[in-house]
Amino acid sequence: MQQVNSKKNIFAKKNKSNIRWCWIFMIPTLLLYLVFTAWPIFSSFYYATLKWSGLSVTKEFVGLSNFIEVAKDPYFWSAFWNSFKFMFGVVPIHLIIGLLLAVVLNNKLLKLAKVYRTLFFLPVVTTASIVGIIMIFILGADGPVNTILLSLGITDNPINWLGDPKYAMISVILISGWKNLGINMIYWLAALQSIPSELYEAAKVDGCNSRQMFRYITFPLIIPIGAVIALLNIVGSLKVFDIVKTMTNGGPFFSTDVVATYIYRYAFSSEMGLPRIGYASAAGIFFGITIIIVGFTANHFKKKIKAKSIVSQN
Amino acid sequence: MNNLKRFRIKNKKICLTHILLIIVSLVWIYPFIWMVSASFKTDDEIFAKGLNLIPKNFNFDNFIRAWNNANFEAYFFNSIVVTVCTVLLVLILSAMMGYVMGRYEFKGKKVVLGIFLASMVIPLGFTIIPIYQAIKALGLMNTRIGLILAESGGSHIIFILLFAGFFKEIPKSLEEAAIMDGCGFLRIFINIMLPLSKPIIGSVVIMQFIWTWNSFLLPLVLTLSNEGLRTLAVGLYAFKGEYVVDWTGIAAGGTISLIPIIIVFVVLQKYFVEGIAGSIKG
């Protein structure tokens, strides 16, 4: 009895010191979080009410006028819609082609699947600035793409993929689709591998062919994870910056300008004269709120899909 | 007989799949093949029309020029320092936090977790201005430490959740035995929990490595006025602007910058799919 009591005592004492340790373990992360996540969120609301270059000491409080100016700027709205255009172009590529590729590479009988996986992953691990540089050549007037198109007689003149406003957005979408397909393929592979193999064995016994298996087993079971992948892609593509900045810098004639490049231009670059921190913050908040709304809407559908698929599984 | 036929059909199908996959993946990595070959070419060769991928003779001048003239040595060094430090910092911090979150109950835990989860929704890219101001206020503008802290302060919440999920599953008896042996909180964490969590460590390392190595906006903004502190991603971008003529040099620089990330990826690949799988299923 006494032994049991002393054992309890040890644990009680441990418990108190453990709680202290818990907080010690959390403090560094909490500090970083405070400085680089929490504070920035709140202060960008404050910045948005200022007329401030970020360089000078003088900050003038201007209330909501930055927001009003953003709302009235046609270039902001063009960037806003371009962000959505980009999203609607890129997300289907990632979801559909990524899934196709994952289904093919998930075949256990397929040798070299790992090698293919690595090859498709190569663009993912490549910096956007390298992609930007390579693509200027690949898509250039004398580059391989135009050479092939010309020799096949598809066009008579080389297409100016990145310099012509008609084609620039499509080019950026395709390149971004190319760059990030690999990570989506991995997402889908993870989803596919979460399906218990007994289900397929049972279906085989029942005489299902591979198309039926995909239709009745694979597809319904990966839908919940698919919804997460879709959500990640939607939110991620709305935030796009690197690839646009390095490929076209928003041009030509603002045809690929997205909100992130718009904000960057006002906050950090000298293209527009003195930086306008307040104005850029207001644009950021504007768009941040849009993303949150889109995210929540998508999340709502995701939950619905999840609930539905759980019901159908039972 | 029937079996043999079926075997043949199956084999044919797999062959066809291979052929298709080889074609697609060749198209996929064509830009890289092009870049590597261009890094050996001369300026005249690179502008010659056509699809020729094999340079006339392999010369290493471009690599030497990129390394020396364009400050690539410095960019490379900066990238390595920033990436390695960020990966280590994020790894240690998220393992600590994940351990606490996954294994202990205490007042305030739910609040902390709730705040962290809520901020996942907020798009980080749009808080770049205050992050810039915070680094400036801390006097860390144009320093590697500032860049490392800003990179680590980003959203590694997903790693915390990964670790928490993993530590939760470890049986309590293991810990109790350690306590009876006189192990304290820190010893249990370092000697027992960390070694067990190797697969999670692998996937955190690879994901954070890729993110930081390729990170563009933060290093661009936080080293705006000091060229010597640029990372490879930013250096290459600026290089394009400053030395537009030297395409072969750029190709060489690009090739150099690809090497470390490919090594990391190939070495840690086996943890990678599992790690991502765990994080999106959770």
The 10s digit of each residue's pLDDT in A230-289 is 988 988 898 899 899 988 888 788 999 999 999 999 888 766 678 888 899 999 888 888
By C-alpha distance, the chain A residue nearest B274 is: A190
* A25 contact residues in B (CB cutoff 8 A): 96-97, 99-100, 189
- Does A187 lie at the interface with B, CB-CB under 8 angstroms? yes
The predicted pLDDT at position B128 comes to: 85
Distances (CA, A) of B196 to B117, B199, B276: 26, 8, 18
The predicted pLDDT at position B88 comes to: 95
CB-side neighbour CA atoms (13 Å) of A124: 21
Quote helix, strand, coil % in chain B, to nearest 5.
Answer: 80, 0, 20
Helix axes A219-238, B247-281, angle to 10 degrees: 130
Q: At residue B124, does pLDDT exceed 60?
A: no
Asked whether the beta carbons of residue B127 and residue A194 sit closer than 8 angstroms, the reply is no
How near does any CA of chain B get to the CA of A166, in Å? 23
The predicted pLDDT at position A314 comes to: 45
* pLDDT classification of A1: cutoffs 50, 70, 90: very low
The predicted pLDDT at position A11 comes to: 59
What's the rounded mean pLDDT across residues B69-76?
81
By C-alpha distance, the chain B residue nearest A7 is: B180
* A194 contact residues in B (CB cutoff 8 A): 277, 281
Which residues between 205 and 224 in chain B have a beta carbon less than 8 angstroms from any beta carbon of chain A? 210, 213-214, 216-217, 221, 224
How near does any CA of chain B get to the CA of A63, in Å? 18
The predicted pLDDT at position A271 comes to: 67
Q: Which helix (H) or strand (E) holds A51?
A: strand A50-51
The predicted pLDDT at position A60 comes to: 83
* pLDDT classification of B68: cutoffs 50, 70, 90: confident
The predicted pLDDT at position A312 comes to: 58
Where on the phi/psi map is residue B108: left (φ > 0), alpha (ψ -120 to 50), or beta? left
* pLDDT classification of A4: cutoffs 50, 70, 90: low
What's the rounded mean pLDDT across residues A190-206?
84
| pLDDT-above-90 percentage for chain B | 12
Asked whether the beta carbons of residue A126 and residue B236 sit closer than 8 angstroms, the reply is no
The predicted pLDDT at position B93 comes to: 94
**Contacts with A149 (C-beta within 8 Å, 6 or more apart), sequence order:** A155, A158, A159
Q: What is the mean pLDDT of chain B?
A: 83
Q: At residue A135, does pLDDT exceed 80?
A: yes
* pLDDT classification of B275: cutoffs 50, 70, 90: low
What's the rounded mean pLDDT across residues B192-204?
87
What's the rounded mean pLDDT across residues B98-118?
86
Which residues between 106 and 125 in chain B have a beta carbon less than 8 angstroms from any beta carbon of chain A? 106, 109, 112, 115-116, 119, 121-125
Q: At residue B6, does pLDDT exceed 50?
A: yes
Name the least confident of A101-105, B217-221, B229-233, B268-272.
B268-272
**In the 8-state DSSP scheme, what is residue B156?**
-
What is the per-residue pLDDT across A48-102, written as a single tens digit (0 to 9) for each?
A: 888 888 777 778 888 888 999 999 999 999 999 999 999 999 999 999 999 999 9
pTM equals 0.86
By C-alpha distance, the chain A residue nearest B137 is: A35
Asked whether the beta carbons of residue B34 and residue A138 sit closer than 8 angstroms, the reply is yes
The predicted pLDDT at position A61 comes to: 86
Name the least confident of A278-292, B34-48, B101-115.
B34-48
Long-range contacts of A192-196 (CB under 8 A, 24+ apart): A192/A102, A192/A103, A192/A106, A192/A218, A192/A222, A193/A106, A193/B273, A193/B277, A194/A221, A194/A222, A194/A225, A194/B277, A194/B281, A195/A221, A195/A222
Q: Which helix (H) or strand (E) holds A247?
A: helix A242-247
What is the per-residue pLDDT across A140-176, written as a single tens digit (0 to 9) for each?
A: 877 788 888 888 888 888 888 888 899 999 999 999 9
Between B154, B213, B217, which is nearest A241 by CB? B217
Asked whether the beta carbons of residue A17 and residue B276 sit closer than 8 angstroms, the reply is no
Q: At residue B282, does pLDDT exceed 60?
A: no
The predicted pLDDT at position B121 comes to: 65
What is the per-residue pLDDT across B14-30, written as a single tens digit (0 to 9) for each?
A: 888 889 899 989 989 99
Which residues between 123 and 142 in chain A have a beta carbon less than 8 angstroms from any beta carbon of chain B? 123-135, 137-138, 142
Q: What are residue A50's phi and psi, to 5 degrees?
A: -115, 150
Say if residues B128 and B217 touch (Cβ distance below 8 Å): yes
Q: What is the mean pLDDT of chain A?
A: 85
Q: Which amino acid is at A1?
A: M
Q: Does the complex come out with an ipTM higher than 0.90? A: no
